[in-house]
Amino acid sequence: MLTYMCCLLLLFICVEGVYGAGTEEVKSVSVSVTEGDSISLNTDVKVQKDEQILWTFGPQETRIAEIHRQNIYIDGTDMIFEKVLQMDNQTGSLTIRNIRTEHTGLYKLQIFSSRGTSYKRFNVTVYAPLPGPVITRDYPSSSSESRCSLVCSVVNVSDVTLSWYAGISVLSNISVSDLSISLSLPLEVEYQDKNTYSCVIYNTISNQTKHLDNITQLCSEAVQSYVHSESVIPSLIYAVLGMTAVALLFFHVRSRQVDKRTSPLAPAVPRILQWMEMRREERRRGK
């Protein structure tokens, strides 16, 4: 029995040696890059005459580049890689120029030789350039005379975090992983606040910052703008009513000239003019 077990163990070792010989452990590398940049996926080897270098992309492992018998082959049939791939004939390293978001995915390197096969994987993530955040007054969400509500906003972003900072301290933040979404983050401050505030949008490789330079100016300008818009509305109403009264008076005169009879619109004209005069008087008293 002991002899039988020893024979089985020796057979297992021999089989394991045959199937495991020459195959190296798969290495995996994660790479992040901004859209428009160029990246190089390095093999860390020097190509030998008997070696074949093969690059594939995506879950289907589509061939995109290859060195075979020292000849370079670049696959130009896949439109997303057209005119963007370059391969080093000395190392087999793959360069992607002017990289785009559709180039995000898994790149697999296989090196075949008489000594066996080695593998390497590159998980590439391509981020769109970050837009600059915009700070505006959130009016009239707060009407306090001493406090002011602000909003920091960004549009068409994904996989980012938006944060308010006071100096180097984080006050609040919001994160999103969806595609092409708009984010807004509010902040309430004192008009006379002397702290240094900034709004920052960032992902794993880059960031954009907008500093809040003058709290008092931003808040007061927003209030003045709102007050101005409020004062314009009554003026427009009075202008429309004035033109209506003039039109009614014109039709009244025309009707008198045509048939010498009293127009049914005539009584309305004095009442409109009297009402407009009363409103002007009320506004003068209010001032």
pLDDT of 107: 96
Where is average pLDDT lowest: 84-88, 186-190, 227-231, 244-248? 227-231
Same domain, yes or no: 195 and 122? no
Mean pLDDT within 86-104:
94
Report phi then psi at 14, rounded to 5.
-65, -45
Residue 240: domain span? 229-286
Is 280 among the domain residues?
yes
175 pLDDT above the threshold of 80: yes
d(C-alpha 5, C-alpha 7), whole Å: 5
Task: Looking at the structure, tell me whether residues 119 and 138 fall in a common domain.
Answer: no
Is residue 15 situated within a structural domain?
no
Q: Are residues 118 and 170 in the same domain?
A: no
Query: Do 91 and 174 reside in the same domain of the chain?
Result: no
Beta-carbon-side half-sphere exposure of residue 257 (alpha carbons within 13 Å): 6
Cα–Cα distances in angstroms (integers) from residue 75 to residues 39, 65, 96, 106, in the given order: 18, 6, 13, 17
Report residue 31's pLDDT band, with 50, 70 and 90 as the boundaries.
very high
User: Does residue 3 belong to any structural domain of this protein?
Assistant: no
Q: Which of 151, 180, 213 is the last residue before a domain boundary?
A: 213
If one compares 77 and 84, the residue with the highest pLDDT of the two is 84
Q: Do 234 and 208 fall within a single domain?
A: no
Asked if 194 and 116 sit in the same domain, the reply is no
Percent of the chain with pLDDT over 90: 40
Q: Are residues 60 and 85 in the same domain?
A: yes
Let me know whether 206 and 236 are in one domain: no
- Do 113 and 150 share a domain, yes or no? no
Does the residue 223 lie in any domain?
no
Listed residues 127, 156, 172: the one ending a domain = 127
Give 169's contacts (C-beta < 8 A, 6+ positions apart). Answer: none
Higher pLDDT among residues 254 and 166, named by residue: 166
Q: Total domain count for the chain?
A: 3
Q: Are residues 94 and 138 in the same domain?
A: no
User: Per residue in 35-73, pLDDT tens?
Assistant: 999 999 999 999 888 889 999 999 999 999 999 888 899
Q: What is the CATH number of the domain that holds 89?
A: 2.60.40.10
Of 98, 127, 156, the domain-final residue: 127
Over residues 101-152, the pLDDT tens digits come to 999 999 999 999 888 899 999 999 999 899 999 999 886 555 566 788 899 9
99 pLDDT higher than 90: yes
Q: Where does the pLDDT of residue 8 fall: very low under 50, low under 70, confident under 90, or very high at 90 and above? A: very low
Task: Establish if 43 belongs to a structural domain.
Answer: yes
Burial (Cβ within 10 Å: 0-12, 13-18, ≥19) of residue 65 = buried
Is residue 72 one of the residues assigned to a domain?
yes
Examine the domain organization and report whether 40 and 101 are in the same domain: yes
Residue 7 pLDDT > 50: no
CA 32, 36, 37, 41 torsion-angle sign: positive
Which residues 6+ apart lie within 8 Å of 190 measured at CB? 146, 147, 148, 215
CB 142 within 8 A of CB 95: no
% of the chain beyond a pLDDT of 70: 67
pLDDT at 94: 96
Are 143 and 193 found together in one domain?
Answer: yes
Does some domain include residue 10?
A: no
**1 lies in some domain:** no
